[in-house]
């Protein structure tokens, strides 16, 4: 699927979800940002689980040979924020710099580029930025500060199944108070992410369900959703 088609499919999913939320929330976008703010307020006050209705658990996936997965303990309504995607942020300028190093026969840069472009933990934002969530010490350090950074543990849904999560890239202005919980980092310490990637429930999700999002966002899977 082409990039424009992917963006179009994702946008349509967001529109459909907003329609579902419209009866309860006059401004769905603000509702999502308010949820993000609430998460950070809770973490600043040492409340490790921001929601009263559910918790998240990482354990063996229900999909054979898929490794770990994320499961819901409790019940969650459509439109609620469940978790975030974390990892190293790669902007266009960062990729270009890496490609220049590869052209200069830098073997480490070559391995890093392969990891970013071919790795199973890379998430591509609609604006072209990439997040590399390959498990590492830095990622686990972030997890200790922000326990909702579990996006890299979420699997693609089984064949003929519809995902129950929608990844959404939200513009967000981090402050000194919220910086300790930012889900991403950059090789350049001066770079601060201007977005945050969150996962919203696309429908009501019940106790014990495994969470899934579409890795490729195939529009066919979302048809009629």
Mean pLDDT, the chain cut into blocks of 10 residues (225 residues total) = 44 55 64 92 89 90 94 93 94 91 91 88 91 86 85 92 93 94 92 95 95 72 40
Residue 151 · residue 123 · CB < 8 Å? yes
- Rounded to whole angstroms, how far apart are CA atoms 156 and 178? 30
pLDDT score recorded for residue 210: 98
pLDDT score recorded for residue 2: 41
pLDDT in tens, 80-125: 999 999 999 999 999 999 999 999 999 999 999 998 988 889 999 9
Dihedral of the alpha carbons of 220, 56, 195, 132, in degrees to the nearest 10: -80
One-letter-per-residue 3-state SS of the chain? CCHHHHHHHHHHHHHHHHHHHCCCCCCHHHHHHHHHHHHHHHHHCCCCCCCCCEEEEEEECCCCCCCEEEEEEECECCCCEEEECCEEEECHHHHHHHHHHHHCCCHHHHHHHHHHHHCCCEEECCCCCEEECCCCHHHHHHHHHCCCCCHHHCECCCCCCCCCEEEEEEECCCCCCCHHHCCEECCCCCCCCCEEEEEEECCCECCCCECECCCCCCHHHHCCC
């Amino acid at each position: 699927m082409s990039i424009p088609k992917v963006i179009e499919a994702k946008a349509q999913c967001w529109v459909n979800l907003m329609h579902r939320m419209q009866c309860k929330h006059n401004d769905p976008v603000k509702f999502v940002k308010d949820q993000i703010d609430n998460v950070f307020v809770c973490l600043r006050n040492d409340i490790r689980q921001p929601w009263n209705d559910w918790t998240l658990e990482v354990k063996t996936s229900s999909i054979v040979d898929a490794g770990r997965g994320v499961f819901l303990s409790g019940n969650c309504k459509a439109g609620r924020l469940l978790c975030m995607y974390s990892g190293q942020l790669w902007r266009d300028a960062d990729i270009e710099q890496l490609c220049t190093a590869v052209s200069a026969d830098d073997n480490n840069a070559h391995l890093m580029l392969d990891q970013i472009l071919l790795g199973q933990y890379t998430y591509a934002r609609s604006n072209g930025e990439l997040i590399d969530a390959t498990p590492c010490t830095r990622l686990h350090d972030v997890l200790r500060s922000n326990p909702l950074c579990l996006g890299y543990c979420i699997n693609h849904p089984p064949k003929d199944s519809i995902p129950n999560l929608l990844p959404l890239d939200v513009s967000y202005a981090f402050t000194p108070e919220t910086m300790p919980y930012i889900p991403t980092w950059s090789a350049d310490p001066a770079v601060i992410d201007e977005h945050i990637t969150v996962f919203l429930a696309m429908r009501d999700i019940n106790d014990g369900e495994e969470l899934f999002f579409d890795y490729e966002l195939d529009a066919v899977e979302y048809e009629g959703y």
